[in-house]
Homo-oligomer: A and B are copies of this chain.
Amino acid sequence: MAKDKKLVEEITSMSEDFARWYTDVVVKADLIAYSSVKGCMIIKPDGYAIWENIQHELDRRFKETGVQNVYMPMFIPESLLQVEKDHVEGFAPEVAWVTHGGLNELQERLCVRPTSETLFCDFYKDIIQSHRDLPKVYNQWCSVVRWEKETRPFLRSREFLWQEGHTAHATAEEAEERTVQMLNLYADFCEEVLAMPVVRGQKTDKEKFAGADATYTIEALMHDGKALQSGTSHNFGTNFSKPFGIQYTDKNNQLQYVYQTSWGMTTRLIGAIIMVHGDDSGLVLPPRIAPTQVMVIPIQQRKEGVLEKAAEVCQRLGKVARTKLDDSDKSPGWKFSEAEMRGIPVRVELGPKDIEAGKCVLVRRDTREKIECPLDALEETVVALLETIQKEMFERAKAHRDSHIYDAHNYEEFTEIANNKPGFIRAMWCGDEACENKIKEDLAVTSRCMPFNDQEQISGVCACCGKPAKKLVYWGKAY
């Protein structure tokens, strides 16, 4: 029992220190290990299995919309990175530079890709000639490098895994449609699979991507009331196609520039899952993304017939859910704690008395509710329970998020909320970057997005300067 307690005691509680709770969970739940390369993490089997589930489901949804996967080089020649001015300014300060190949110094430095717009442009320039070659809707799954100073596992690391979609279209309308389509795909994925509600909207000019006309974003609220940018989709217009010279001949035999987009999601999503659903006992995984959905734990497993029955239960459930049996020689209490730490949605407890009574006990990770289940109704009960958990986890996260959105009508209210109430602040904005800068400097709050659904205007004037305002903005402290 002392041993069981220890496992849990090693986690800092969320209320005591959220940041430490987070790093405790990523390590104790066996998702990552620190490596000897500063700022780069090792993603362990349990962490990587979550990423595989994310990849699998996102990739399936991508392909349904006509996306094709490709693979581009991981290096970008310095001259290529410099073709688009805003882009190089945004990324050059934070890239890793390769200067030597083998024993020789390179004639031109190569950066390890921080993102691949320039490579895709260089490629599209060669393969797009006619309107028949459009659209191109390519994506790649890879790792990218950004030489960050402060790093945190999953949230901000020098190397991370992601997908980056890059498309080229004949018209501005088609590019805009694809940009919004992918943002909505991301949002639906987060809500349906990760049980994580998001606000869909547009970034202000100050916060948009280096080189984009418009950046759309989904913003999620973490348990501590901070926002996390969880996916972005960019409309480049012709900002890249002009300097790169990506032109096609239209149906009237006229040369036209293509319109481009890019969009990406990263391993940062794993950090989001942890901070939206986790609790003081560790990880809480939504069933649809959990590598192990059900853990079968035998009680008094040395007693005759218990292990056999537990194996049978595991085998039956294995046909309808991702199920494992913990038949190690640890105590049941230790196994319970471990299954909780790892966020496994349902555990099945099964001892001699249960077997005699032809039942078992199902325990929900999210609510800790215990449910008696007749063994002959096992499969349907567990399948329905996993669906219920998925649905209720989303509803709880949404209720938490909604209860942490505060309206600010003027700067006094804005200040009061920013200083005392963690969450999203909804406030009108005049559109002037000076107000954005003031809010950031005074209150350490940034504009997260201008929501798509902005019919609702909470006042007629900017909450910062008092001038007329039409734009509603979600503000917040952010990771």
Q: Which residues of chain A have a CB within 8 Å of any CB of chain B?
A: 33, 35-37, 40-45, 48-49, 51-52, 68-77, 80, 93-103, 110, 112, 119, 122-123, 126-127, 138, 142-143, 145, 147, 158-159, 161
Contact = CB atoms under 8 A, between A and B. Distances in A.
21 contacts: A35-B72, A35-B122, A35-B123, A36-B80, A36-B122, A42-B70, A42-B73, A42-B119, A42-B123, A44-B70, A45-B69, A45-B70, A48-B70, A74-B74, A74-B112, A96-B100, A96-B110, A98-B99, A99-B99, A99-B100, A102-B147
A75 B40 CA distance: 9
Nearest to A329: B132
A37 to B, nearest CB: 5
Contact of A73 (B35, B48, B97, B126): B35
B33 A126 contact: yes
Contacts of A119: 35, 42
A123 B161 CA distance: 19
Contact of A76 (B37, B72, B103): B37
Given A35-B73, A69-B49, A102 B93 contact: yes
Given A96-B101, A123-B33, A126-B33, A73 B161 contact: no
A48 B71 contact: yes
Nearest to A76: B37
A73 B142 CA distance: 12
Contacts of A142: 143
Most buried by B among A36, A48, A119: A36
A138 B49 CA distance: 12
A75 B157 CA distance: 13
Most buried by B among A49, A72, A138: A72
A191 B54 CA distance: 32
B99 A71 contact: no
A52 B139 CA distance: 13
Nearest to A291: B68
A403 to B, nearest CB: 36
Given A37-B110, A93-B103, A122-B36, A74 B42 contact: no
A80 B40 CA distance: 15
Nearest to A161: B71
B72 A42 contact: yes
